[in-house]
Amino acid sequence: MAAYNQIEIFEQSQKWFDQLPLEWKNWLEENLEKGCGIEQLVDVLKASGFEPRFEMNDLKFQTLLDHDQEWIIEQVLNKVTSAEIVKILIEQGHDGLKVKEYLNNLENNQLYKILKKKHHQLKKREWLIETVDQLAQLNSGYSEEIPSITAPQFSDFIKDYYSQHRPVILKEGIEHWPALHKWSPQYFTSKFGHHSVEVQMNRNLDEQFERHSPLLKQKMKMSEFVSKVMSVDASNDFYMTANNATNSHQMLQELFLDIGDFAEGYCDSALKDERSFLWFGPKGTFTPLHHDLTNNMLVQIYGRKKVTLIPALQVTHLYNDHWVFSELSNANKIDFEKYPLARSITPVECILNAGEALFIPIGWWHSVESLDVSISISFTHFNAPNHYVDRFPKEV
C-alpha cells in the first residue's frame, strides 16, 4: 500500500497538483488508472519541468503506517462507517484525531478516487459472476456430478464441453496408446532407470509446497525415484510433477513415444512433447486447490486419482490470495469460521481410473489426490484455442 503514501506527495502539494495543466492532470490520472508506478510518473513530470515543492516533514498522517492505511481504505470501500473505523483504531492505540483527519482527506486523494471507481467495477462484476453461478446451479448436473461418457467426436466435444466450460470424464480415448498397456513403476525402472530426472522432494517440510515447488527440485536417477515410490505405503513427500518437465526432457522425449492423439483429432501432434506433462508418485500425493490457465486434459494411465472440482464462477468465495492458488488448500477440510464465504462453494468429487481422462476447463478449481501409486499425463495441445495465459494479470 506504499502507493498511498506516495500519492500523498501529489496530494500534500495540492497547489502543485492543481497548477498542472489539464492535459497533464488527465495524463497522470490515466496512467495511475493503468497501474503505472508512481516513481516513474514523478520522473516524467520532473523531466517535463513540473517539480513538486514540498518537504517530507510536511506530509500528514505520518503516524499511520502503510498497513493501517490499507486497512482503513478497505473498510471504507466495504461501507464500514467512519465512527466504527475510528473506534477500532483508537482501541488499538492510534491517535483518533489523526485517523479522523485521514478519513476526512481520503475523498480528496486522487489515487483513492481511482481505487473507489475500480472497486465499484469489481463489485458489479462479482455480482454478475455470482448470479450466473446461482443460475447454473439450477441444473443439477452443474456441480453435483461430473458426467462420464465414451470420448465423442472432437466436434461434439468442442460443442458440448470445451466451448461450454463443462468438465467431463472421457473413456476409451487412449486405448491405442502403448503407454496404457506398458507403463508401470517396473517398466520405468527397466526402460528409463538410467535417466536423470527431476522431482519434488521434502514436500512435507513446507506447508506451501506447491507454491514453493521451484525450491524443492532435486535430480536423481529414475530407478532411485521408483525405489522411493515403491518403498512407502503412502506419502506426499516426493512427487514427479508437471513443474519438473524441463529438467526431465531427455527421458520424457523417449517416454512420450508411447502416447499419441487423444481419441481422434483432439490434439495438435506437433505440440505433443512441449504440451504434455508427466505426474508420477506414490499413493497419498496431493495437489492443493488451484486453477489452471489453460484447458487441461488429465489422463490416468496407472492407478487411480480422486479429483475435487469447484466451478470457476465460484472464484469470489475461494479466497484466491496469490496467483492461481487459494488460502483453502483442501476443499474437504475448510474452517468455515475463518473462511465464511466458502460456505457457498459446491465441490464435486470424481474418481479417475486407469484409461480414463478428465477434461478440466480453464479456471475450474481443483485438487488432486493419488489413491494408489499413480502415473498420469496432462496435456493442453488441443486442436482448439487454448492460449489465454498472456492476458492473465501479473502479481503485484
What number is the average pLDDT over the span 31-51? 68
Residue 200 and residue 380: Cα distance in Å, rounded? 22
Q: Which helix (H) or strand (E) holds 351?
A: strand 348-352
Q: Residues of the chain with pLDDT > 70: what percent?
A: 88
One-letter amino acid for residue 116 of the chain: K
Instruction: Residue 203: count other Cβ atoms within 10 Å of its Cβ.
Output: 23
Enter the C-alpha cell of residue 11: 496530494
Residue 86 has pLDDT above 60, yes or no: yes
Q: Identify whether the C-beta of residue 106 lies closer than 8 Å to the C-beta of residue 64.
A: no
Residues facing 356 on adjacent strands: 171
Query: Could you report the per-residue pLDDT of 225-246, keeping only the tens digit for each?
Result: 999 999 999 999 999 999 888 8
Query: Could you report the per-residue pLDDT of 129-155, keeping only the tens digit for each?
Result: 999 999 999 998 888 889 999 999 999
**Any idea what the Cα angle at residue 273 is, between residues 270 and 276, rounded to 5°?**
110
Q: What is the mean pLDDT of the chain?
A: 88
Q: Which of the four pLDDT bands, split at 50, 70 and 90, describes residue 259?
A: very high
Whether the pTM exceeds 0.85: the reply is: no
For residue 300, what are the CA distances in angstroms to 59, 175, 292, 357, 374? Answer: 61, 12, 18, 6, 8
Determine the pLDDT at residue 52.
57
Which among 287, 278, 267, 276 is positioned nearest to 365, based on CA atoms? 287
Query: Could you report the per-residue pLDDT of 183-196, keeping only the tens digit for each?
Result: 999 999 999 999 99
The CATH superfamily label for domain 140-391 reads Cupin (2.60.120.650)
Residue 41 has pLDDT above 80, yes or no: no
Residue 314 has pLDDT above 70, yes or no: yes
Region(s) of the chain under CATH 2.60.120.650? 140-391
At 244 the three-state DSSP class reads helix
Instruction: Residue 258: count other Cβ atoms within 10 Å of its Cβ.
Output: 17
List the alpha helices (DSSP H) in the chain. 2-12, 14-18, 22-33, 38-47, 66-77, 82-91, 96-106, 110-136, 154-157, 178-182, 185-192, 222-230, 249-255
Residue 64 has pLDDT above 50, yes or no: yes
First-to-last CA distance in the chain? 11
